Amino acid sequence: MTRPGRRERRSRPPVPAHPLDENGTDMTTPLLEIRGLSVSYRTRGGTVAAVRGVDLDVFPGQVTAVVGESGSGKSTTAHAVIRLLAAGGMLDAGTIRFGRHDLVTLSEAELRTVRGTGIGLVPQDPTVSLNPVKRIGEQVAEVLRIHGLATRRAAAAEAVAVLDRAGLPDAAVRARQYPHELSGGMRQRALIAVAIAANPRLIIADEPTSALDVTVQRVILDHLQRLTEESDTAILLVTHDLGVAADRAQRLVVMEQGRVVEAGETATVLADPQHAYTRRLLASAPSLTGPSAAARAPITTAPRDASRPEPAESSPPLVEVRHLVKEFRLPRAAGGHRTLRAVDDVGLTLRRGQTLALVGESGSGKSTTARLVLRLTDPTSGQILFDGADVTTAKGAQVRQLRRRAQLIYQNPYASLDPRLSIGEVITEPLRAFGVGDRAARLDRARDLLDRVALPAATLERRPAELSGGQRQRVAIARALALSPDLVVCDEPVSALDVSVQSQVLELLAELQADTGVAYLFISHDLAVVRQIAHQVAVMRAGRVVETGPPADLFAEPRHAYTRELLAAIPGSRLPVPVADTATTS
Amino acid sequence: MRRYVIKRLAQAVGVLWAAYTVSFLVLDFLPGDPVSAMAGAGMDSGQVDPARIAALRHEYGFDKPVLAQYADHLGRALRGDFGDAVSTGRPVTATLADALPQTLRLTGAALLLAAVLGGGLAVLATYTSRRWLRQLLLSLPPLGVSVPTFWVGLLLVEAFSFRLHWFPAFGNDGLRGLVLPALTLAIPTGAQVAQVLAKSLLTALDQAYVETARAKGAGRWRVHLRHALRNASLPALTVVGLLVGQLIAGSVVVETVFSRDGLGRVTAAAVTAQDIPLVQGVVVFGALIFVSVNLIVDLVYPLLDPRIVVASDRRAGIA
């Protein structure tokens, strides 16, 4: 039986290399040349082709971005280069020429000499990509130790230097710490240090900043770019974010369903996209300039029109939060007890049928604020009014009543649906919990809700695992609306989804709001998304609301320096302004 | 850290007290008492002098109310005095102390064998890329758990003592005599270690940091032993802590099958003779060993996984 991830073609000798300049400065010969690459995965249901005949070049000293949605094969292509495919992955055909080697035909042992020294990998999720039980310095030094580039002691010292080069402050201290003691951004720097430790000529960066805050993302990408410019290293950048690709890459490769549909100079591709898929990607990229979903949504109930907020103004707000404070006690430090003010004197007002967006980076207190509003956690001080009633210290039946009127949509639709329940059971669970209707009535309601979120009624019988991410989030939305709540808290509801799916889900949310008059408390780190959906925006930083206002004003004339910083950090300033008529939503 | 240890020690004392109390109550509710059992055993004719029994009852304090007996016994147990064994008249503590070294040797050897065999099996099964070998190795642990200990013991004796004459079939003589009983005891224990470790190794090998390690150019053994194994060892260690209790229980069977002296034999004899003070001594003593081993296991966790102390501190901080 053939081993996964390996091809039985070892009998063929490596093809002689292209005449390549030793320093890799020859810009006309690619450093990495992929030809006719096909990869498939063996699953229980049969063989699935993930990459089909991909050609791709990476030139020395350049950033080449591979963009596409999930399932497009971009990540598989990148991992195939160092033959680190997930279980069941098979290289079926093609050549991957790197310098003098065809990586497809190298033996596992020869390949190990290329990994780390020739090609470095910056993985996707810094929170899980470092070994939790080893010190940071040790993990960087390991690269040098494996390839015999330094003795144990020299490697330790070198690791500190590399960490410093990767932009990690206090590198000597960090080297002695464990991954869990570092923030996500710091961990990604440590992983960059791992990737660059042996001075590879190519770095494969697989969604290197998707898990990070937008300001951290910018700093990390800046640093990665500077490092490669200094050392003339090439980067193969895999990203779902067209904005990131537009800002960083000299060359752009667009993938769809395992094929390269378009490739070329970034500026050329963006200015004049040839393929329909590229145009669609460009159109659905959330931007700060296009029309917003809230404004685009068909308005059926006139008083809830966002552009005319006057009638809503007169009614009492649905949620009013005053001087809200939440403190967490930190582990005892040398100076005795310390507390963290996660939410610091926050005041918010959310009107019926409107969307209030909380924006900020991780740790800014936006999720804690939402949890306080839902009474999932107790405030240290302050006041929460829900529909005029004080629910700050509500208990028992009152909280249960609140649960019925305020629902939650989670960030990750892959984790928030019980895999053992059918979709019908998922959607009717809130109804069952509150004993609403009989079995038949609940099923009717579920069918109606599925119809509203544009899923076929047959979905009722299916399980979450059979649905795509976008479909799952639609199910989560249907579940949240089952009890006809007044408020739905959306905690980063689209950040786990592809851009084209993102815009569809946002439009759905806006439509449902127009139909039902539900209010959204919408948490997001993505200002472009917020701009599409929100009537009011509150920018949070370190537990405080630093600025509030309608998105149009806020983004046009940000008053607070932090808002300006957030806006500047959004990638995609080089993206062309989307034209409304190219938007094709299916 | 010191507060954590003190808290755990307090918990351990609580567990010991509970073990003592529960065993006291259970033994008190059982029909019959050791005096009649002893008297019955001593006189085959069946003719027992009622006055003699009453005198014995009084001597051992069985005629007092239950609560008074409990308070009396607990007070003495705290000073390390569990009374005298009814069947032999020797102090319980001395009886246990005599039996302990043999059993410690047996269970210690069994634990070592279980860790080496079970751990080795798990590492090998998850390392090999030959599918049939992996399947074969992974099917061994369920088999090892499901076969009864005494049957394994008898099989081993049959094969290695009676047929091959490699090891003695019974007795306490030296290292050679230890091999078969320790192996018998180690098979179900090692099987459970292997089961848990193999499972958590497979989970660990699926983690993103393993890909990072492979992307560094690390070889398979390096990835397996230096990266995955340490992360996977925590669940296995937890199981080892729990298995110590099973080993002590297993020694009852194994020491009987192999006619070895030790705690297990003492337990078996004490239960048969309804020797309440001795049974109680065994229960409390077993609990003491179990609690100590698990305390050690808990203290080893932070050494293997740096995140753990932080977690316990944080919990303490919020509570």
DSSP string, A278-297: HHHHHHHS--SSS--HHHHS
Smallest CA-to-CA distance from A446 within A467, A462, A460 is with A460
Per cent of chain A over pLDDT 70 is 87
Q: Is residue A497 a contact partner of residue A525, using CB atoms and an 8 Å limit?
A: no
Checking if the pLDDT of A11 tops 50, the result is no
Contacts with A553 (C-beta within 8 Å, 6 or more apart), sequence order: none
Q: Is residue B90 a contact partner of residue B270, using CB atoms and an 8 Å limit?
A: no
- Alpha helices (H) in A386-545, listed in sequence order: 396-405, 423-433, 439-452, 469-481, 499-516, 527-533
Instruction: Determine how β-strand A339-350 pairs with β-strand A319-329.
Output: antiparallel
Whether residue A331 and residue B215 make contact (CB cut-off 8 A), yes or no, is no
pLDDT tens by residue, A272-284: 888 998 888 888 7
Distance CA A140, CA A162 (A): 8
CB atoms within 10 A of CB A148: 7
DSSP label of A61: T
The pLDDT assigned to A143 comes to: 94
Between the CA of residue A524 and those of A349, A361, A406, A529, B292, what are the distances in Å? Answer: 17, 9, 18, 8, 49
Mapping DSSP to helix (H, G, I), strand (E, B) and coil, where does residue A505 land?
A: helix
pLDDT top residue among A273 and A303: A273
Checking if the pLDDT of A70 tops 50, the result is yes
The pLDDT assigned to B261 comes to: 87
The pLDDT assigned to A577 comes to: 59
| Min Cα separation A329/chain B (Å) | 6
pLDDT tens by residue, A310-363: 444 556 789 999 999 998 876 554 455 577 888 999 999 999 999 999 998 877
Q: Is residue B234 a contact partner of residue B303, using CB atoms and an 8 Å limit?
A: no
The pLDDT assigned to A98 comes to: 93
Q: Residue A5's pLDDT band (boundaries 50, 70, 90)?
A: very low
Distance CA A363, CA A378 (A): 18
- Closest-approach residue (CA) in chain A for B216: A116
Mapping DSSP to helix (H, G, I), strand (E, B) and coil, where does residue A34 land?
A: strand
Average pLDDT value over all residues in chain B: 83
B131-146 and B174-205 are packed helices; what angle lies between their axes, rounded to 10 degrees? 130
Q: How many CA atoms lie within 13 A of A355 on its CB side?
A: 30
Mean pLDDT of A556-565: 89
Q: Residue B212's pLDDT band (boundaries 50, 70, 90)?
A: very high
The pLDDT assigned to A496 comes to: 76
Q: Is residue A9 a contact partner of residue A105, using CB atoms and an 8 Å limit?
A: yes
Checking if the pLDDT of A420 tops 70, the result is yes
| Min Cα separation A275/chain B (Å) | 34
Q: Residue B318's pLDDT band (boundaries 50, 70, 90)?
A: very low
Q: In this structure, what token pair is assigned to residue B261? A: 């002296």
Contacts with B200 (C-beta within 8 Å, 6 or more apart), sequence order: B231, B232, B233, B234, B235, B236
- Following CA atoms A295, A296, A298, A300 in sequence, which dihedral angle do they give, to the nearest 10 degrees? 0
Between the CA of residue A380 and those of A147, A331, A334, A344, B7, what are the distances in Å? Answer: 54, 18, 24, 10, 29
Distance CA A238, CA A74 (A): 7
The pLDDT assigned to B46 comes to: 54
Distance CA A40, CA B166 (A): 55
Q: Which of B216, B227, B318 sits opposite A115 (nearest CB)?
A: B216
The pLDDT assigned to A535 comes to: 93
* ipTM, interface predicted TM-score of the complex: 0.77
Distance CA B255, CA B99 (A): 11
Q: In this structure, what token pair is assigned to residue A379? A: 């405030």
- Assigned CATH for B98-272: 1.10.3720.10
Mean pLDDT of B124-153: 88
Contacts with A16 (C-beta within 8 Å, 6 or more apart), sequence order: A100
Mean pLDDT of A247-269: 92
pLDDT tens by residue, A101-143: 899 999 989 999 999 999 999 998 888 899 999 999 999 999 9
Mean pLDDT of A178-202: 90
The pLDDT assigned to A425 comes to: 93
Distance CA A140, CA A130 (A): 10
Checking if the pLDDT of A309 tops 50, the result is no
The pLDDT assigned to A21 comes to: 41
Distance CA A178, CA B104 (A): 38
Distance CA B179, CA B188 (A): 15
Checking if the pLDDT of A157 tops 50, the result is yes
pTM of the model: 0.77
The pLDDT assigned to A337 comes to: 59
Checking if the pLDDT of A83 tops 60, the result is yes
List the Cα angle B174/B175/B179 in 5-degree steps.
125
The pLDDT assigned to A265 comes to: 92
pLDDT tens by residue, A13-46: 444 444 444 444 455 789 999 999 999 988 777 7
Instruction: Determine how β-strand A119-122 pairs with β-strand A202-206.
Output: parallel
Bridge partners (DSSP) of residue A340 are A328
With beta carbons under 8 A apart, name residues in chain A contacting B313. Answer: 331-332
Q: Is residue A570 a contact partner of residue A329, using CB atoms and an 8 Å limit?
A: no
Between the CA of residue A384 and those of A46, A178, A318, A370, B12, what are the distances in Å? Answer: 54, 39, 11, 11, 45
Q: Is residue A159 a contact partner of residue A177, using CB atoms and an 8 Å limit?
A: no
Tell me the one-letter amino acid at B31: P
Average pLDDT value over all residues in chain A: 83
In chain B, which residues touch A (CB < 8 A)? 129, 131, 206-209, 211-219, 222, 227, 230-231, 304-307, 310, 313-314, 317-318
Q: Is residue A90 a contact partner of residue A41, using CB atoms and an 8 Å limit?
A: yes
With beta carbons under 8 A apart, name residues in chain B contacting A142. Answer: 213, 216, 218
Distance CA A261, CA A311 (A): 50
Distance CA B281, CA B271 (A): 12
| Min Cα separation B290/chain A (Å) | 27
Whether residue B212 and residue A129 make contact (CB cut-off 8 A), yes or no, is yes
Smallest CA-to-CA distance from A109 within A162, A453, A101 is with A101
Bridge partners (DSSP) of residue A238 are A66, A206
With beta carbons under 8 A apart, name residues in chain A contacting B317. Answer: 329-332, 337
The pLDDT assigned to B35 comes to: 66
Instruction: Determine how β-strand A355-359 pairs with β-strand A536-541.
Output: parallel
Whether residue A329 and residue B216 make contact (CB cut-off 8 A), yes or no, is no
Contacts with B127 (C-beta within 8 Å, 6 or more apart), sequence order: B220, B221, B224
Distance CA A421, CA A467 (A): 13
The pLDDT assigned to A300 comes to: 36
Mapping DSSP to helix (H, G, I), strand (E, B) and coil, where does residue A95 land?
A: strand
The pLDDT assigned to B41 comes to: 54
Mean pLDDT of B275-296: 86
Distance CA A372, CA A392 (A): 9
Mean pLDDT of A166-192: 89
Distance CA A456, CA B319 (A): 48
Whether residue B231 and residue A133 make contact (CB cut-off 8 A), yes or no, is yes
The pLDDT assigned to B309 comes to: 63
Q: Residue B40's pLDDT band (boundaries 50, 70, 90)?
A: low
Q: Residue A509's pLDDT band (boundaries 50, 70, 90)?
A: very high
The pLDDT assigned to A360 comes to: 86
In chain A, which residues touch B (CB < 8 A)? 1, 3, 82, 84, 87, 112-117, 120-121, 123-125, 128-134, 139, 142-143, 146-147, 178, 180, 191, 194-195, 328-332, 337
pLDDT tens by residue, A359-402: 988 778 888 899 999 998 899 999 999 998 898 888 888 889 89
List the Cα angle B133/B134/B140 in 5-degree steps.
95
Whether residue B222 and residue A112 make contact (CB cut-off 8 A), yes or no, is no
As a whole number of Å, the CA-based R_g of chain B is 24
The pLDDT assigned to A144 comes to: 95
Distance CA A222, CA B182 (A): 62
Distance CA A169, CA A186 (A): 9
Distance CA B155, CA A86 (A): 44
As a whole number of Å, the CA-based R_g of chain A is 26
